[in-house]
Amino acid sequence: MRRIFHYLKPYTFLAIISPLLMIGEVFADLCLPKLMTVIVDCGISKSGDVSESALGSTVMRLLFGEGTYSSMQVIITFGVLMLVVVLIGGFFGVACAYTAAKASQSMGRDLRCDAYRSVMSLSIEQTDRFTTGSLVTRMTNDITMIVDFTEMLLRMLVRSPMFFIGGSIMLFSLDLSFSMVMLCALPVLAITLFVVLRRAIPLYSRVQTKLDRVNSVVQENVTGARVIKAYVREDHEGERFRQANGELRDTNYRVQKIMAWMHPVLMVVMNVSIIAIIYLGGWQIENVAGTGMTAGTIMAAITYVTQVLMSLMMVAGMFQSVSRALASVRRVGEVLDAKPVIRSGAVREGKDDVAVSFRQVSFRYPGATGEPVLHNIDLDIRRGETFAVIGATGSGKTSLVNLIPRFYDATEGEVLVDGVPVKKYDLEALRQKISFVMQKSELFSDTIADNIRVGKTDATQEELCRAAQTAQAEEFVSGFSDGYETYIAEKGASLSGGQKQRMSIARALVRKPEILILDDSTSALDLATEAKLRHALKKDLRNTTVIMIAQRIASVREADRIAVIENGTIRDCGSHDELMRCSETYRDIYESQMKNGGEQV
């Protein structure tokens, strides 16, 4: 809970004034039964005789002076007083609710921002470990739980204890015999609350875990809807969702079944207490003279008993919220406390003729066992060179280029950019040097212009057009009625695969990077369009180091050098002609792609 108070600290004034305002509301509520007593005893039962009521006689004398008063005069006077007290209490209650909501919601905003920054700073391996569904739940549902608890805490922290203490004092001041009723009722409620909460609290963490699972399944099914429909897996995925949803329902049901005992027990105890008070008060009125017991006193006692017992239910509700909030605080805290595995260095610039170097690099994915994905990689890529990597599926091509912008760190050896080890680079400075076009084109639900501007936020319209032309995207963009202001559906669903790839390439080019990495990013393009793209890249990126991964030899044959990677190590490296002469692996790939004297598209 210290974490909550840390985020609440900037709003200390609101957090302090909110409980203080609640004091005014509670005080008003405690005064109402006393005023009602005067109306019943002096206005209804005794026809305006207020002499036996200290409160009644004092108020009437102050307002009307000495004299006799009619019953209607007493009823109207104290009825108006009750209305005034209600309005005052209402004012304090509204002010308390406003300040509590403002403090808690402001705290939630700050907490959500920090959690988001923490998520964005995590390395890819940490994001994979948390899972997307769990991170979404923690950022939304869990933080909402914390905010709701904080708001309730600010309002109930004073309300419940004041009702309990104040109501008990007022009840005992009416008649000591009523204290026996309270002393009998409280242990029953306390034991019930203890037993119920002890069993329910551990289940709240399980509820959040089950909710994680539901969110993960929904997220996977929504993003993979086309695959599910293509393979007619709706029934299977529906069953998977029903199972996850059923587990969430069952866990919630267990919690609610336990919590359901609280309200009936409270009602039974409260009504038995009311009956006992009515019996004791009635017995004293009938059999004991001079006790001062009246119908108004009994009504006030009933109200105070109700307030005291309801305050215990408020406390139970607070404990319930505390248990849920603690589970949420722990889960959000795991995100906030997660330190990025990949730490930023301090170097912002390097100078060397070699753009990228690999020195005895080996790599295996975190948590993986067995042979490393890459091993003993020694490679220099010169500045301005077009360098291609080719190899079989799973040979380690993408893993190799992922080490350059530090999506992962090498297990052994080191990777250098401009002669500086990437671990010493400031991460922002390192990644500003690099534009990375990934295998899967990730576009955002925004305009074409803003999607390209992801690469460079202050890009001019001329720069956007130039990048689109080089990426061979200008033709289809100009075909839209709104041009660059055309809105793209989520994840680029309104574009074809080739259009998405060209958009991703344009986004990378607008930055004018020192190093451009194309990770099999032309696989959806036909050979003619790809040839135009290669020609445009060579013309416009003379000083840019281009590292491209491809499956087709037609995509890489014009590169300055081509590395053939096999089983995680570089077998051969050279130009197309050199490899055709001396690399058996490269010749095998070349021949497998030939058919009737021409390359397969």
569: alpha, beta or left, given left = phi > 0 and alpha = psi -120 to 50? beta
Name which of 34, 24, 156 is nearest 90 in CA terms: 24
Cα 397–chain centre separation:
34
Average pLDDT of each block of 10 consecutive residues along the chain (601 residues)?
Answer: 80 91 89 86 70 79 80 87 93 93 93 90 80 82 88 84 84 79 82 81 78 81 77 84 90 84 82 86 74 78 84 75 79 86 85 88 84 90 92 87 91 91 91 88 86 89 91 88 85 82 91 90 84 87 88 86 91 91 88 60 39
Task: Please give the Cα distance from 429 to 423 (Å, whole number).
Answer: 12
- Determine the pLDDT at residue 85: 93
Name the token pair of 196.
């119920």
Q: How many CA atoms lie within 13 A of 224 on its CB side?
A: 13
CB 542 within 8 A of CB 535: no
Q: Which ranges of 175-261 would DSSP assign to H, the alpha helix?
A: 177-223, 225-230, 234-259
Amino acid at the residue 190:
A
Query: How many C-beta neighbours within 10 Å does residue 583 have?
Result: 18
Give the separation between CA 121 and CA 339, rounded to whole angstroms.
8
136's CB contacts (< 8 A; 6+ apart) are: 215, 219
**Can you give the residue ranges of every domain in the chain?**
2-337
Report the CATH number of the 2-337 domain.
1.20.1560.10
Cβ pair 382, 355 in contact under 8 A = yes
**Cα separation, 491 vs 508, whole angstroms:** 17
- Interhelix angle 12-38/295-337, rounded to 10 degrees, is 170
d(CA 220, CA 232): 16
> Which residue has tokens 């991170």?
135
Using a 10 angstrom Cβ sphere, with 0-12 exposed, 13-18 middle and 19 or more buried, the burial of residue 462 is: exposed
Pairwise CA distance, residues 328 & 457, whole Å: 36
Contact criterion met (CB below 8 Å) for 422 and 406: yes
> What is the CB neighbour count within 10 angstroms for residue 15?
22
Phi, psi for residue 362 in degrees, rounded to 5: -130, 150
pTM above 0.85, yes or no: no
3-state SS class at 379:
strand
Task: Give the pLDDT of residue 596.
Answer: 38
Residue 512: left (phi > 0), alpha (psi -120 to 50), or beta? left
